[in-house]
């Protein structure tokens, strides 16, 4: 590393050599301590003196002593060493998760479990600060593209970006209806519901993307569509009788049970998974690596607990 100053540049190695000369009071002893030859130390000392532009040492008897500039530089060397030690201590703290920053962006539908996971993680590591962004899939993709966060949580990672994407939890999508909804027939298919009004998430949402793909796969076109930009509003609207919707089971809680039901539609649930996504492995900070591992444990502990349980939804 080069440190620029007014008259040229100097290197950390020169400072290290000067520090030894200043501390030991002699070029010979500094050379011995650093396993260098005496001329090598003298050359570096001369180059450093030129870079500083002022004499750093002066002869006294058979030895040398520091000039005022030399004493000031010696003090600066000590401060640099202390700053470096603090930096190393911070690295150690971050590696041990005693401090650090974790930036996560998650798609809106992941807000039903991800903040809870973050909360538990921070309880384990209170020194870690968290920044959480909640956006739809397009919003999270934009942050991923701009490398604004350490980790990104979404269901459909971009296939053509060189990112690492690790699935950690199922994310099934189900058809919901008001509790009182009478299905037109026993063996229900999506096309049988095509005349109902469907509440759809906005374009750019991952849920919407999955729904559009399913409609295309089944060659079904919905006659009456209404775009609603939030899972919560969609649930309320369905409960209020406005129409049907396709949502993640994670968006459904026990509290929704009395007002909603999941329809047993062929081809459903649409099977998807939550992924934790990031750019290359090497750049991941210690808190980000730890949270990625924690997510796998969290998912294992909560598998089956999210959303409606068992047959209670029929
Ligand atoms: P969304 O994403 O919240 O943007 O709909 C959810 C998902 O990708 O499953």
Can you give the pLDDT at residue 311? 34
Q: Which atom of ligand 1 lies nearest, measured to the CA of 274?
A: 9
The distance of Cα 228 from the centroid of its chain, to the nearest Å, equals 28
- The tens digit of pLDDT for each residue in 202-254 reads 999 999 999 999 999 999 999 999 999 999 999 999 999 999 999 999 999 88
Integer Cα distance of 120 and 106 in angstroms: 17
Q: Does ligand 1 come within 6 angstroms of the Cβ of 57? A: no
User: What per-residue confidence (pLDDT) applies to 283?
Assistant: 81
pLDDT value at residue 61: 85
Give 140 Cα–ligand 1 centroid separation in angstroms. 10
Return the best residue to mutate from 245, 248, 249, 306 for the ligand 1 pocket (most ligand atoms within 8 A of CB). 248
Residue range(s) of every CATH 3.40.190.10 domain in the chain:
100-170+273-302, 173-262
80 φ, ψ to 5°?
-60, -40
Q: Which pLDDT value is given to residue 185?
A: 84
Please return the burial class of 245, using the count of CB atoms within 10 Å of its CB with bins 0-12, 13-18 and 19+.
buried
Q: Nearest-CA neighbor of 259 among 178, 168, 188, 160?
A: 178
**Which residues of the chain carry a pLDDT beneath 50?**
306-314
Give the CA angle between residues 69, 72, 78 to the nearest 5°. Answer: 140
Query: What gap in Å lies between CA 125 and CA 109, rounded to an integer?
Result: 25
Stretch(es) of the chain classified as CATH 1.10.10.10: 2-96
In angstroms, what is the span from residue 206 Cα to ligand 1's centroid? 3
Count of C-beta atoms within a 10 Å radius of residue 58? 10
Q: State the CATH architecture for 100-170+273-302.
A: 3-Layer(aba) Sandwich (3.40)
- Which atom of ligand 1 is least distant from the CA of 205? 4
CATH 1.10.10.10 fits 2-96, yes or no: yes
> Is any ligand 1 atom within 6 A of the Cβ of residue 105?
no
- The C-alpha angle with vertex 252 and arms to 248 and 255, in degrees rounded to 5, equals 175
3-state secondary structure 104-158: EEEEHHHHHCHHHHHHHHHHHCCCEEEEEEEECHHHHHHHHHCCCCCEEEECCCC
Neighbours of 108 (CB within 10 A): 23
| The pLDDT of residue 186 | 83
Report the top-level CATH class of 173-262: alpha beta
| CA 107 to ligand 1 centroid distance, Å | 5
Q: Are 172 and 251 in contact (CB under 8 A)?
A: no
Whether residue 250 has its Cβ less than 6 Å from ligand 1: no
Ligand 1 site, residue 231, Cβ cutoff 6 A: no
Span from the CA of 156 to the centroid of ligand 1 (angstroms): 8
Pocket test for ligand 1, best of 135, 136, 174 (most atoms within 8 A of CB): 136
State the Cα–Cα distance between residues 292 and 96, nearest whole angstrom: 15
pLDDT at residue number 1? 56
For residues 131 and 119, what is the distance between their CA atoms, to the nearest angstrom?
12
Determine the pLDDT at residue 3: 64
Q: How many CB atoms lie within 10 A of CB 80?
A: 15
Residue 53 Cα, ligand 1 centroid: separation in angstroms? 62
CA of 247 to the centre of ligand 1 (A): 9
pLDDT at residue number 5: 61
Judging by beta carbons within 10 Å of its beta carbon (0-12, 13-18, 19+), is residue 124 exposed, middle or buried? exposed
Contacts of 282 (CB under 8 A, 6+ apart): none
């Amino acid at each position: 590393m080069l440190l620029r100053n007014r008259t040229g540049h100097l290197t950390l190695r020169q400072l290290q050599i000067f520090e030894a000369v200043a501390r030991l009071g002699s070029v010979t002893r500094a050379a011995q301590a650093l396993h260098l030859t005496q001329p090598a130390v003298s050359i570096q000392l001369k180059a450093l003196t030129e870079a500083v532009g002022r004499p750093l040492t002066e002869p006294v008897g058979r030895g040398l002593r520091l000039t005022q500039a030399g004493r000031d530089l010696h003090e600066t060397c000590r401060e640099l060493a202390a700053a470096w030690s603090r930096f190393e201590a911070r690295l150690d703290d971050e590696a041990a998760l005693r401090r650090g920053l974790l930036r996560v962006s998650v798609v809106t539908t992941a807000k039903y479990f991800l903040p809870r996971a973050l909360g538990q993680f921070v309880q384990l590591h209170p020194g870690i600060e968290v920044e959480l962004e909640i956006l739809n899939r397009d919003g999270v993709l934009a942050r991923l593209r701009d490398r604004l966060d350490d980790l990104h949580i979404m269901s459909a990672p971009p296939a053509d970006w060189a990112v690492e994407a690790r699935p950690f939890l199922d994310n099934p999508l189900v058809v919901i209806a008001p509790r009182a909804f009478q299905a037109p027939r026993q063996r229900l298919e999506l096309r049988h519901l095509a005349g109902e009004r469907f509440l759809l998430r906005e374009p750019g949402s991952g849920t919407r993307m999955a729904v559009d793909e399913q409609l295309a796969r089944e060659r079904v076109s919905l006659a009456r569509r209404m775009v609603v930009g939030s899972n919560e509003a969609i649930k309320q609207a369905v409960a209020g009788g406005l129409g049907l919707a396709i949502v993640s089971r994670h968006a459904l809680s026990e509290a929704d049970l009395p007002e909603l039901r999941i329809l047993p539609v062929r081809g459903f649930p649409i099977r998807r998974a939550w992924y934790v996504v990031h750019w290359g492995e090497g750049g991941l900070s210690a808190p980000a690596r730890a949270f990625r591992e924690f997510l796998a444990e969290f998912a294992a502990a909560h598998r089956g607990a999210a959303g409606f349980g068992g047959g209670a939804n029929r």
